[in-house]
C-alpha cells in the first residue's frame, strides 16, 4: 500500500479501540466532534504526502520502488537530519506551529530504538535490531500513524519503578513472560495524539537498576489491542468552538491521552527491549536527543508566528514605535532566531553512532536549545500579553460579534489603529489568547522533557576539563592533567 490517502487513514481509526472522552466511551473516534479535530490535523500528514508539490521532501522510494514516508527512514547522515528538520518545519508551518502528528513524536522513538537495539544485541545476542527493522517496514508498508509512549505515570517521583509503594504499575512493566511473547500492565500518560494513531511505540522514560528489570521494556503495539484503554486529555475548547475565537486550539487538539495497559499481550517479534535494564536509560536519552531536535525545529516555526503576532498586535494597537514595544519586539526576534540557529547547529554538529552508519543530533547543543526556549517562554508570553492588553482575556466571543444586536457596538468600540479593521484586531487578540494559554505554557516547559532533564544532560556532557584548563592557565596554576588543547598553546604573555 505504502502512502495512504487521508480517507484510508481516517477509516483505519474505526477499529474497535477503547477511548473515553469527558466521562463517556467514544464508540467511533472518526465521528466524535472533538476527537475529529485531532484526526483532521493528523490527516494533514496524508494530505501532504499525496501532494506532488511536497513528495520530494516528505517521501522516499523504498528498495522495492514503493513510496514511503521519509519520516520513517533511519537517519544516516547530517543531510538526512537536515532534511528531517525541513520536514518538521513544513509540518509546523502548515499547522499553525504544531506539526501534524502522524509520525512526529514516534519517529524519534523509532530512531532511538534503531540506535540502541544493536547495542543490546551486541551485549546479549538478542535479535532486537531485526525486530526494529521489521517494525519499521510494517509501519512504512502500511503507512501507519504512531504515537510515542515514553512517559509513565510515575507515582512518587523520588522512587524508582520497583520501589513504588501503593502498587507496582506506576511504570509499564512485564507481568508475565510466555514462549510467544510478554504480558504488560501499567500506564503511560500525556501521549500526544494517541487516540488518532494506529500504533504506539512504548519505551522506558528513565534509567533503571537491576531490580527494575521488569520495567525495562520497549515494544510496538496496535492501539486497538485488547486490554488497552485510552482516556483523552481535557481539551482547551468545547464542541462547536469557532476558529475565530480559538484559531489554534479549534484547529489543533493534540489530545495528549493517558494509555492504560491491562494485561496486554505483546508478541516476541514486536519487542525491542525485555529486561536489559542497563539500556533503559540509553533508550530514553536517545529518544530525547532526537526529540529535542524535533522540538526546537517546530518551536522556531511557532516563534515565527508568535513574533509575527506580537508585531501585528503592536501595530493594531498603534504602539509599534514606542520604545518599550520596540525593545520587546527586538528581544522576541533574538529569541526566535536563536532557537532556529541553535536547532540547526545541533544537526550541523551531529554525532555518528560507533560501529554503525546511524547519526543523531548533538546532545549538548540539542539540550541547550530546548532549555533555552523553554526557560524563556514565559518572558515571551509576558511581552506579547503586555503589548496586547487586557482585551486578550476579556474580549467577547465570535457569537457576540456576529449578533446584529451587539455587532455594531463591538465594531465601534473594539477598534484600535485606524490602519486596520476591528475584525483584524479581534482576530489577532484571539490568536494571542491561544498562543499564551496555560496549555501552551505547560507544553513548552514539559513536553520533550522538563527543564531539569536538560540541565542534567548538560551537566553530564559538559567538558569541564577544558573549562578548568583555560582558567588554570590564566591563573598561572600548574595543570597536572595537561589538557591537550591548552598544553599546545604558545606561552602568554610572551618573554620579549
Ligand X SMILES: Cc1cc2nc3c(=O)[nH]c(=O)nc-3n(C[C@H](O)[C@H](O)[C@H](O)COP(=O)(O)OP(=O)(O)OC[C@H]3O[C@@H](n4cnc5c(N)ncnc54)[C@H](O)[C@@H]3O)c2cc1C
3-state helix, strand, coil in the chain (%, to 5): 50, 15, 35
- Choose which of 26, 72, 105, 410 interacts with ligand X (CB under 6 A): 105
Residues 261-320 touching ligand X, rule: CB under 6 A, are none
Contact call for residue 249 and ligand X (CB under 6 A): no
* Distance between CA atoms of residues 361 and 201, nearest Å: 21
Scanning 45-53, 162-170, 294-302, 440-448 for contacts with ligand X by CB under 6 A, the matching segment is 440-448
Minimal CB distance to ligand X: which residue?
Answer: 150
Kindly state whether residue 468 participates in binding ligand X, applying the rule CB under 6 A. Answer: no
The single residue listed with the C-alpha cell 483584524 is 424
- Position 443 contacts ligand X (CB under 6 A): yes
Which of the residues 174 through 233 are near ligand X (CB under 6 A)?
190-192
Q: 297 is written with which cell numbers?
A: 525545529
Q: Which three cell numbers stand for residue 474?
A: 590564566
Nearer to ligand X, 215 or 401 (CB): 215
Using CB under 6 A as the binding criterion, the count of chain residues that bind ligand X stands at 19
Biggest CA–CA distance in the chain, Å, is: 88
C-beta of residue 457 within 8 angstroms of C-beta of residue 284: no
Burial label, 316 (beta-carbon count in 10 A; 0-12, 13-18, 19+): buried
Distance, CA of 90 to CA of 99 (rounded, Å)? 8
Interaction between residue 446 and ligand X (CB under 6 A): yes
Among positions 442, 471, 484, 487, the unique one binding ligand X when judged by CB under 6 A: 442
CB of 192 to ligand X, least distance (A): 3
Nearer Cβ to ligand X, position 256 or 315?
256
330 closest CA partner among 310, 350, 353 = 310
Position among 13, 150, 369, 426 found at the interface with ligand X (CB under 6 A): 150
Spatial contact of 255 and 195, defined as CB atoms under 8 Å apart = yes
DSSP assignments along 90-135, one per residue = HHHHHTTTS---SSTTHHHHHHHHHHHHHHHHHHH---HHHHHHHH
Q: Which of 50-58, 70-78, 448-456, 475-483 is the region at the interface with ligand X (rule: CB under 6 A)?
A: 448-456
Contact of 384 with 309, CB cutoff 8 Å:
yes
Cα dihedral across residues 76, 78, 83, 87: positive or negative: positive
Confirm or reject binding of residue 160 to ligand X (CB under 6 A).
no
Closer residue to ligand X (CB): 36 or 154 = 154
CA atoms of 38 and 9, how far apart (whole Å): 13
Q: Reduced to 3 states, what is the DSSP secondary structure of residue 218?
A: strand
Interacting residue with ligand X among 24, 25, 53, 157 (CB under 6 A): 157
- Smallest distance from the beta carbon of 439 to ligand X, in angstroms? 7
Kindly state whether residue 332 participates in binding ligand X, applying the rule CB under 6 A: no
* CA neighbor of 145 nearest in space, from 188, 187, 104: 104
Position among 234, 341, 450, 460 found at the interface with ligand X (CB under 6 A): 450
Residue 447, interface with ligand X (CB under 6 A)? yes
Q: CB 11 → ligand X: shortest distance, Å?
A: 24
CA dihedral 267, 270, 274, 279 (to 10 degrees): 180
Binding part of the chain for ligand X, among 63-71, 150-158, 331-339, 430-438 by CB under 6 A, reads 150-158
| Interface positions with ligand X (CB under 6 A) | 105, 148-151, 154, 157-158, 190-192, 256, 442-443, 446-447, 449-450, 452
Amino acid at each position: 500500500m505504502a502512502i495512504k490517502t487521508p480517507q484510508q487513514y481516517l477509516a483505519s481509526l474505526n477499529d474497535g479501540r477503547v477511548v473515553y472522552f469527558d466521562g463517556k466511551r467514544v464508540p467511533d473516534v472518526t465521528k466524535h466532534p472533538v476527537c475529529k479535530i485531532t484526526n483532521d490535523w493528523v490527516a494533514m500528514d496524508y494530505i501532504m504526502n499525496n501532494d506532488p508539490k511536497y513528495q520530494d521532501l516528505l517521501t522516499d522510494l523504498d528498495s522495492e520502488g514503493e513510496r514511503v514516508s521519509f519520516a520513517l527512514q533511519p537517519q544516516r547522515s547530517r543531510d538526512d537530519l537536515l532534511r528531517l528538520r525541513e520536514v518538521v518545519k513544513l509540518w509546523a508551518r502548515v499547522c499553525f506551529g504544531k506539526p501534524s502528528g502522524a509520525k512526529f513524536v514516534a519517529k524519534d522513538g523509532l530512531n532511538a530504538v534503531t540506535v540502541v537495539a544493536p547495542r543490546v544485541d551486541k551485549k546479549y545476542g538478542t535479535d532486537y535490531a531485526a525486530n526494529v527493522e521489521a517494525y519499521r517496514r510494517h509501519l512504512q508498508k502500511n503507512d501507519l500513524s504512531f504515537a510515542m509512549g515514553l512517559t509513565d505515570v510515575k507515582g512518587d517521583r523520588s522512587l524508582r519503578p520497583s520501589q513504588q509503594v501503593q502498587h507496582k504499575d506506576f511504570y509499564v512493566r512485564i507481568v508475565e513472560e510466555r514462549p510467544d511473547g510478554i504480558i504488560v500492565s501499567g500506564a503511560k500518560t500525556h501521549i500526544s495524539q494517541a487516540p488518532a494513531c494506529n500504533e504506539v511505540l512504548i519505551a522506558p522514560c528513565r534509567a533503571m537498576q537491576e531490580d527494575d528489570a521488569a520495567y525495562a521494556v520497549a515494544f510496538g503495539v496496535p492501539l486497538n489491542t485488547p486490554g488497552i484503554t485510552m482516556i483523552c486529555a481535557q481539551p482547551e475548547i468545547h464542541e462547536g468552538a469557532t476558529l475565530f475565537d480559538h484559531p489554534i486550539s479549534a484547529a489543533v487538539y493534540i489530545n495528549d491521552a493517558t494509555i492504560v495497559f491491562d494485561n496486554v499481550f505483546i508478541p516476541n517479534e514486536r519487542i525491542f527491549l525485555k529486561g536489559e535494564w542497563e539500556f533503559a536509560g540509553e533508550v530514553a536519552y536517545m529518544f530525547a536527543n532526537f526529540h529535542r531536535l524535533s522540538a526546537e525545529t517546530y518551536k522556531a516555526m511557532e516563534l515565527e508566528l508568535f513574533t509575527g503576532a506580537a508585531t501585528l498586535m503592536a501595530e493594531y494597537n498603534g504602539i509599534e514605535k514606542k520604545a518599550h514595544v520596540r525593545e520587546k519586539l527586538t528581544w522576541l526576534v533574538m529569541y526566535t532566531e536563536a532557537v532556529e540557529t541553535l536547532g540547526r547547529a545541533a544537526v550541523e554538529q551531529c554525532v555518528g553512532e560507533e560501529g554503525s552508519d546511524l547519526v543523531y543530533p548533538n546532545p549538548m547543543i540539542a539540550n541547550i536549545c530546548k532549555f533555552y526556549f523553554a526557560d524563556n517562554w514565559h518572558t515571551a508570553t509576558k511581552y506579547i500579553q503586555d503589548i496586547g492588553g487586557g482585551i486578550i482575556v476579556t474580549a467577547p466571543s465570535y457569537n457576540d460579534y456576529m449578533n446584529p444586536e451587539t455587532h455594531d457596538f463591538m465594531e465601534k468600540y473594539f477598534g484600535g489603529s485606524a490602519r486596520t479593521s476591528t475584525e483584524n484586531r479581534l482576530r489577532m487578540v484571539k490568536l494571542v489568547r491561544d498562543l499564551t494559554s496555560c496549555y501552551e505554557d505547560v507544553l513548552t516547559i514539559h513536553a520533550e522533557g522538563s527543564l531539569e532533564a536538560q540541565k542534567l544532560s548538560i551537566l553530564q556532557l559538559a567538558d569541564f576539563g577544558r573549562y578548568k584548563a583555560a582558567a588554570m592557565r590564566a591563573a598561572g596554576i600548574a595543570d597536572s592533567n595537561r589538557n591537550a588543547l591548552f598544553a599546545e598553546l604558545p606561552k602568554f604573555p610572551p618573554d620579549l
